[in-house]
Amino acid sequence: MKVLVTGASGMLGGATARALAARGDDVTVLQRRPSGSGLREVLGDIADLALVRRAVQDQQAVVHLAAKVNVTGAEADYRRANVDGTRAVVRACQEAGVERLINVSSPSVAHSGSSLVGVGAGPADPSTARGPYARTKAEAELLALAADSATLAVLAVRPHIVWGPGDTQLVGRIVARARQRRLPLFGQAAVLVDTTYVANAVDALVAAVDRCTPDGVHGEALVVSNGEPRPIGEILTAMARAGGAPLPTRHLPVGPARLAGSLAEQLWKLRPGDDADPPITRFLVEQLSTAHWFDQRRTRQSLGWRPSISLDEGFAELTRWYAANGS
């Protein structure tokens, strides 16, 4: 099958592209900078319709991961990458006769701030999503699913907190802050949270490519996770330990932490050109102090998929990676 993967310079996008190629698919990748995947590349802005049209030409399936994922930034930047980029992908797929579109979304599109306990994939809602990332990803998911038709099968897949060896977006930051002794725990750090080991998320996306057809699974959203909710303090501690960093022990009350996050966000707005995220944000505090774990039955039945690597096996792999690669 001829497959285009957008956002292949990221951990999940790159791993998905390599997995598809390894099983024999003809894979092209599209992103702003070289992915290092060794695959055929198209470089540029995902919101550039002409560029996307060129990339999707003759493709049978598209796995769309390209997005702005930082926790802070200008709303316009999120909108261009996440909403305008998805709009360009959808339009190009429709014009080129692409058969399958896997839109990689996020459970945050259905998170209004309260705990999510054993729920399925609720509807994406931009009006209640928390922050510009979740809000624009919710709009993008609705836009993609609205294009589902008899000729273009669309499936939204929401991997939850993907991590693994070489991850700089989540694990790298946690380990770095732990080494600086700047990794606090919010509240009692006992809320249960689902995460997803990267190899399992890749397998789920590959399964989605195969199952997303007009006669198969399409027109809906599926949440993907390991299905092993753990206390958030245990997860952060395991990641810090894997990186050989001091374990987090300092607990901050949730209320003051949210206030600190709000102040940090305001200060960061005064730092033009600084792409680094602030050390704490309201979204970060909320995510680390509310439960969010999911019922995986619909996902596993629909995709014919189950995680092959447990969280403990994943943490062991992470430990081995840090032992071999250091920081």
In this predicted model, what pLDDT tens digit does every residue of 7-17 receive, in sequence order? 999 999 999 99
Report d(CA 38, CA 9) in Å as an integer. 11
Identify the pLDDT of residue 71. Answer: 66
Task: Say what the pLDDT of residue 51 is.
Answer: 97
For 150-167, write each residue's pLDDT tens digit. Answer: 999 999 999 999 999 999
Q: Token pair for residue 198?
A: 């990267």
pLDDT at 290: 81
Which tops the pLDDT comparison, 269 or 122?
Answer: 122
Averaged pLDDT, 286-308: 90
Sheet holding 221-224, edge to edge: 40-43, 26-31, 2-6, 61-64, 100-104, 153-159, 221-224
pLDDT level of residue 187 (50, 70, 90 thresholds)? confident
Nearest to 156 by CA among 204, 199, 228, 190: 204
Q: How high is the pLDDT of residue 120?
A: 86
Average pLDDT over residues 21-33: 96
> Which pLDDT value is given to residue 272?
55
Residues classed as catalytic: 133
CATH fold of the domain at 2-162+196-225+295-308 = Rossmann fold (3.40.50)
| Token code pair at residue 158 | 């929401």
> Does this model's pTM top 0.75?
yes
For 210-214, the CB contacts below 8 A with 24+ separation are: 211/155, 211/302, 211/303, 211/304, 212/61, 212/100, 212/101, 212/102, 212/153, 212/154, 212/155, 213/99, 213/100, 213/153, 214/150, 214/151, 214/153
- Average pLDDT of 251-276? 68
Residue 70 has pLDDT above 80, yes or no: no
Confidence at residue 83, expressed as pLDDT on a 0 to 100 scale: 97
Task: Say if residues 281 and 261 touch (Cβ distance below 8 Å).
Answer: yes
Per-residue pLDDT, 271: 64
Residue, of 299 and 287, whose pLDDT is higher: 299
Residue 275 has pLDDT above 60, yes or no: no
Q: Is 180 or 85 the better-scoring residue by pLDDT?
A: 85
pLDDT bracket for residue 50 (50, 70, 90): very high
Assign 100 a pLDDT band (cuts: 50, 70, 90): very high
pLDDT given at position 179: 92
pLDDT of residue 188 exceeding 80, the answer is no
- In percent, the amount of the chain with pLDDT more than 90 equals 68
Confidence of residue 308 (pLDDT cuts 50, 70, 90): very high
- Band of pLDDT at residue 119, cut at 50, 70 and 90: confident
pLDDT for 123-148, tens place per residue? 998 998 888 999 999 999 999 999 99
Q: Mean of the per-residue pLDDT values for the chain?
A: 90
Predicted local confidence at residue 273, as pLDDT: 52
CA–CA dist 15, 85 (Å, integer): 21
- Tens-digit pLDDT profile for residues 199-213: 999 999 999 999 999
Give the model's pLDDT for residue 147: 98
Rounded Cα–Cα distance for residues 127 and 137 (Å): 12
Confidence of residue 74 (pLDDT cuts 50, 70, 90): confident
Q: Is the pLDDT of residue 244 over 70?
A: yes
3-class secondary structure per residue, the chain:
CEEEEECCCCHHHHHHHHHHHHCCCEEEEEECCCCCCCCEEEECCCCCHHHHHHHHCCCCEEEECCCCCCCCCCHHHHHHHHHHHHHHHHHHHHHHCCCEEEEECCHHHHCCCCCEEEECCCCCCCCCCCHHHHHHHHHHHHHHHHCCCCCCEEEEEEECCEECCCCCCCHHHHHHHHHCCCCCEECCCCCEECCEEHHHHHHHHHHHHHHCCCCCCCCCEEEECCCCCEEHHHHHHHHHHHCCCCCCCCEECHHHHHHHHHHHHHHHCCCCCCCCCCCCCHHHHHHCCCCEEECCHHHHHHHCCCCCCCHHHHHHHHHHHHHHHCC
